[in-house]
Amino acid sequence: MPRGIFPVQAVPVGSLARDDVASPIIARVLLVAVAVCLPWSSDAPTAMGAILSRIFAVAQVLTILYWATQVRQPFVRAPASFGLFVVFVMAHTLVVYGLLSPSELFVSDYSAALGQEMGQVVSRAVVVAKFFGFVLFCYAVASIAGCDGHLTPIGLGLGVSLVALLALGRSEQLIDVSGRYTGGYANANAFAEVCVAALFFNVYTLFQTRSGRTVKMVALFLVAASAGGLLMSASRSALMAILVGISGVFAVASGRHRVLLVAITLAAIAIVMLIAPQNAFELVYRRSTESLVNLRSLIWGAYLQQWREYVPFGVGLGREMTTLSGPVFMDRIWPPHNTVLQVTVAYGVLGPVLLMAFMLACVRRAWRRARSIGGVSASAVALGLVLSWMTLMFTGDRLGARVFWLMLGMVFAILVTHNDAGQSERQGKGT
């Protein structure tokens, strides 16, 4: 790995903060609070969804404030390639809204694309602020998470909250017109992303010798619940992402741990068959085989036809839909529904190059670390997470998802350290 992609020297969590004793405790509380609130969307028709979504926003801000005021080297744990992407986006956004089109900052992209006012759609200023808020949150998580990314406490908090949402959601009928469980999100695929993260985090806990038997039983149930949520969402892209990610973990694991992965998968499937609605499997099958209009292909085709307008320099963050010359489907103009395509439209050809540069740097680093360690280490789970989200990037806008930035910060925290070889030795003694 070339120097500069990841820092050469690891920085212990305690040395990053002025209060060495309080730092790990504060970090864990903040990250667990974020994880517990993450599955809940303000779109949910329940008071709990709105409350926990607001608490998430508060916890996110507090995490950023803690990072900004207590961490001595706030950017050292993220790869330089990620910093280059962020600087490029920042400079591009300043040029677009500071020099070329300042009046368009407070206009909605939907309104601009359709040529009419839409009162319930957020302005581009909110889109820009949200993006850079997520970037700061990612840096904060990378700085305060431990060498294993706090995968176990975050996974347990996320999983337990997800189970509560599933139980409540059944009574609230959080199901769209096609029968897909949305978890209160406007899109079932967004709920599926949370299930992907919860599944990987709790798989890690199952392989840790320091996890007690009770914790492992809870983690196994949460893995099954996450898989059940995925099936209920009927998100084909998320199911494909899980398959790719787990395959990556399987490839770097040792023989014994591969057997355990297969056993855990079979146990999770058995639990899912007991707790998931019977029509969940049927729904996934129907969505995978029925002949319907492939909306994504129509959207991608419409954007690709206009490639000359955005490939050289891009149109700017939040202005992607103005590229289209007319409606795509059902008299609507749609976002790109593809992260790589969206970044190309927004920033030009250099955007996806820089995006894929830091994602591939994570894959390469995680692969090397996981292969050298063996077992299902934090690095192996980081590999699975990155592979999953790279798969998801080709089917939707992942840079607008809260869980993506939490995952990315944890991956950075895991891959910057150089001292989890001892953890692999503990794993080899028993699971």
Least confident of 76-85, 128-137, 145-154, 337-346: 145-154
Task: Please give the biggest Cα pair distance in the chain.
Answer: 65
Query: Which tens digit of pLDDT belongs to each residue from 362-394?
Result: 999 999 999 988 888 999 999 999 999 999 999
Supply the pLDDT for residue 349: 96
Confidence of residue 114 (pLDDT cuts 50, 70, 90): low
The count of residues in the chain is 431
Supply the pLDDT for residue 55: 94
Measure the CA–CA gap between 138 and 234, rounded to whole angstroms. Answer: 29
Please state, in angstroms and as integers, the Cα–Cα distance from residue 62 to each residue in 70, 73, 377, 383, 402, following that order.
12, 18, 29, 28, 15
Supply the pLDDT for residue 422: 39
Measure the CA–CA gap between 124 and 309, rounded to whole angstroms. Answer: 20
Tell me what the mean pLDDT of segment 337-347 comes to: 96
Query: Which tens digit of pLDDT belongs to each residue from 84-96?
Result: 999 999 999 999 9
Tell me what the mean pLDDT of segment 228-243 comes to: 89
| Residue scoring higher pLDDT (227 or 171) | 227
- 116, burial (CB in 10 Å: exposed 0-12, middle 13-18, buried 19+): exposed
Helix (H, G, I), strand (E, B) or coil at 314: coil
Tell me what the mean pLDDT of segment 282-309 comes to: 76
Q: Is the pTM for the entire model greater than 0.75?
A: yes
Tell me what the mean pLDDT of segment 258-283 comes to: 76
With beta carbons less than 8 A apart as the criterion, state whether 430 and 211 touch. Answer: no
List the Cα angle 148/153/158 in 5-degree steps.
115
Measure the CA–CA gap between 190 and 43, rounded to whole angstroms. Answer: 12
Measure the CA–CA gap between 287 and 234, rounded to whole angstroms. Answer: 7
Around Cβ 185, how many Cβ atoms within 10 Å?
Answer: 23
Cα radius of gyration (the chain): 21
With beta carbons less than 8 A apart as the criterion, state whether 378 and 423 touch. Answer: yes
